[in-house]
Amino acid sequence: MTDTKGQHPPRLSILGAHVIDPASRFDQVADLHLADGRVLAIGQKPADFQPEELIDASGLLAIPGLVDLCARLRQPGLEQKATIRSETRAAASAGITTLCCPPDTLPVVDTPAVAQLIRQTAEQHGFARVLPAGSLTQDLAGEQISEMAALARAGCPVLSHADRPIRSARVQRRALEYAATFDLTCFLHPANASLSEGGLVHEGRISTRLGLPGIPAAAETVAVARDLALAEQTGARIHFRGLSTARATEMLAEARARGVQVTADVSAHQLFLTEDDIGTFDANALVLPPLRTEADRQALRAAVASGVISAICSDHQPHEADAKLDTFPQAAPGISALETLLPLTLRLADEGLLPMTSALACVTCHAADILGLPHGRLQPGAPADLCLLAPNEHWTLTAERMHSQGKNTPFLGQSMHGAVRLTLLGGQPAFDAAGP
């Protein structure tokens, strides 16, 4: 097996690492042996295996490469913000080996040609796997259903409508029915367009104090109710991308208990920030869905701890500096978040919200399961995508330290822990902290 650059992955033995595989609940100090881009064995070296390289990983944590369900790479179409090369390199530096990008590129991912362009560009650079989500409707217009089968054949594992809700329930129903015939999961951004349109921040105390147009919690719960009803009607498999309200987590739990095929994720920043972090018009805290109340934040954390929300994603949205320097209402929403996904996930375990293995499952095997992929695992036969990190090393997030082209994050200046030392993609180094 060769990698995307035509190089043969070296036969590697990684010695003495603390190996955590959330999928199998494996959690102990052990050796890892890699060959042909896959995990060959964990523990004792196979008798006929002769490694070409040895890595001393004493004191380091070995975990599966992270799987991020939502990261915008801005290419094609918005290269002034970022490129596939810059953002996959940032992902590798953060231990992320697989990314799913929404279809709201320019042009939209509604044809096989655009999907193949994104995948092939990522493969040429070799930092991370990029899997584009195909658009549910043509040009994300919410009117004509896309050619879903062709998008699936072009490498789109799921379908999505990015953060643009489909206004018509009839079109939404047809899209779900069509997707179900191809056994494709639909990523849905739960926001009722008529309630959220024109809003900037959560409708409540802060929106009133700052005089900003609000987005009510009902904008999310109304959409969740409609989408759950349509999922039950059609038998489609749906995934709520980025829940933000307490009521939505309750509705999700009720639906899952009834057997509805629904999963959900939450953006990492929603587990740590609230509407109060907008402060005095901090544009770096301007996101969609908006930061909600402390009660919402606590409900989201409880849903992650209980497994009702099974995945955490970055919702990475890099911007050029000017996009955040405008007045608050004109600033672009979104956080550059690839490089905080792992440390914020580790922080959840540090704070005692859930065990380390369970926290890591949210960014590895659980996310891969939603995509229907065999990644996010450290098991014999699995792709050799893994991350070695110093779990207790502390560092400060600064713009200079960030590899992403976008430096827009409200976490700048905060202390993080968990420093990535090496990321392997298919057994090949994609990031080496000791390298150039």
Active site residues: 315
Determine which helix (DSSP H) or strand (DSSP E) holds 233, and give its type and residue range.
helix 218-234
How many CB atoms within 10 Å of residue 27?
Answer: 15
Distance CA 411, CA 321 (A): 16
Q: Is the peptide bond before 102 cis (omega within 30 degrees of 0)?
A: no
Give 184-205 as a DSSP string.
Answer: -EEEE----HHHHTT--EETTH
Q: What 3-state DSSP class applies to 429?
A: strand
Name 324's Cβ contacts closer than 8 Å, sequence gap at least 6: 283, 284, 331, 332, 408
Strands 12-21 and 26-35: antiparallel
Distance CA 315, CA 260 (A): 25
CA-based nearest residue to 191, from 235, 142, 157, 232: 142
* Residue indicated by tokens 């409880």: 302
Determine which helix (DSSP H) or strand (DSSP E) holds 383, and give its type and residue range.
none
DSSP 7: P
Residue 211 region, left (φ>0) first, then alpha (ψ -120 to 50), else beta?
Answer: left
CB contact at 8 A, 130 and 84: yes
